[in-house]
Structure 1
Amino acid sequence: MSLTTPRRTPKESAEIDAVLSRHPVIASVKDDDGLRAVLGAPCPVVFVLFGSVISIGGIVGTLKAAGKTVFVDVDLLDGFSSKPVVVDFLKASTQADGILSSKAAIVRAAKTAGLMAIHRLFLVDSFSYNNVPKQVGLSGADAIEILPGCMPRVISWLREDVDLPLIAGGLVCDKEDVIGALGAGAVAVASSNRGVWLM
């Protein structure tokens, strides 16, 4: 399969590559128990997959105090609309380093605001796969996260065709999944499985 995506600037490449190269396992945190657990985990990068307009500042602050690089999934925050203004709020009211979103307009807004931005892409069939270049072209993302992440064959196709760091997320449950994703060309894996965090 042949896809074309926009090239990143050297500055954009260096920033996201530096973040993702520190450790190939990203901790995805879905609740307060996960938040407490990740504070002592060796994962320097955390994806926050929960929170609300009231709690997100505290969640991000706790992680930053523990020395973590924090990306907030803005699509999963309670009390926010799916509009680019959520990025302005996060930039002004939290210490988040970046965002995750499946919406190209929100990813683009994060880039404009000076935040790192990861475009989440749910690949469920050939139609969604073939739509990747259009979505990435619209968003200008620093990296993409593909879900589910336990698809080494698809990861290798994308790695050949997309000029962005690729993160495998969702259903990354064990060492075999991690090795398969990284071996296929993913630069990192994201998982909420605490056993994976310790690899």
Structure 2
Amino acid sequence: MRDVLLDSPVVASVKDEAGMRAVVDAEPAVVFLLFGSILTLPDLVDRLRAAGKVVLVNVDMVEGLEGRDVAADFVAERTRAHGVLSGKAPIVKAAKARGLLAVHRSFLVDSFSYRALGRQLAISRPDFVEILPGCVPRVISWLREDTEVPIIAGGLVCDKEDVLAALGAGAIAIATSNADVWAM
């Protein structure tokens, strides 16, 4: 996925059915699926895979999986998703053990959450870390110095200036639900 992100550094974050329809024909090769239920997830993933997308499921936002330890098992056994996103280190670690791509999501709201992230990454050992909000280049550059884990900047990335600032600070990609940014 790292090579895919280097070629196409905008990740489409899809949060509803309208986003599903829009992303099928959109540029981004990687999709973070941020909605659904255990009943609809396999079909949602299949639709995105049929469009040639790399699909990672935010298991913290899927109804019926919300933060449960079996989330990685469900995604691996019941869907064709390439991987998962979660803010919970044990779920990210379990996804890696199942052979899935794993993104550790972290909301950095203060210095305490920033310092705790290093401990979480040591537990989860993710393929990528997504930090939110993604419009904070200074924090991206700090994290780039503190970890080898590739960084995806997500949340509140609204325009080309935000994308370029995040990439310039050291993020490998950005994730956004803004379809205008997908088309950049």
TM-score (norm 1): 0.90
Q: Which residue does 2:147 correspond to in 1? A: 162
Question: Are 2:70 and 1:85 equivalent residues in the alignment?
Answer: yes
Are the equivalent residues in 2 in contact too, given 1:167–1:188 (CA < 8 A)?
yes
2:111 and 2:77 mapped to 1: Cα distance?
39
Q: How does 1:6-155 map to 2 (within 5 A)?
A: 16-155=1-140
Mapped to 2, the partners of 1:136 and 1:177 lie a distance apart of 25
SS of the residue aligned with 1:76? Answer: coil
Q: Which amino acid is the alignment partner of residue 117 of structure 2?
A: V
- SS state at 1:131 partner: helix
Two-structure CA RMSD over aligned residues (Å): 0.9
Aligned residues: 184
Q: Note the residue ranges of structure 2 that are not aligned, 5 or more in a row.
A: none
- Matched residues in 1 for 2:29 and 2:7: separation? 7
Residues 22, 44 of structure 1: 8 Å contact kept: no
- What is the rounded CA distance, in whole Å, between the counterparts of 2:28 and 2:115 in structure 1? 32
Letter in 1 for 2:110: D
Deviation at residue 81 of structure 1 after TM alignment: 4.5
Q: Indicate yes or no: 2:157 matched with 1:172.
A: yes
Alpha carbons 2:59, 2:66 under 8 Å: kept: no
Q: Which amino acid aligns with 1:49?
A: L
Unaligned segments of structure 1, at least 5 residues: 1-15
Counterpart of 1:13 in structure 2 is: none
Identity percentage over the alignment? 57
1:87, distance to aligned residue in structure 2 (A): 1.1
Equivalent pair of 1:84/1:105 in contact (CA under 8 Å): yes
Runs (4 or more) in structure 1 with deviation over 6 Å come to none
Amino acid corresponding to residue 46 of structure 1 in structure 2: V
Pick 1 or 2: higher relative contact order, CA cutoff 8 A, min separation 6.
1
CA distance in 1, matches of 2:114, 2:137: 14
Given the alignment, which residue of 176, 180, 184 partners 1:191?
A: 176
User: What's the offset of the Cα at 1:83?
Assistant: 2.2
Distance in 2, matches of 1:110 and 1:51, equals: 19
Per mean C-alpha deviation after superposition, the further-off stretch among 85-94 and 75-84 is 75-84
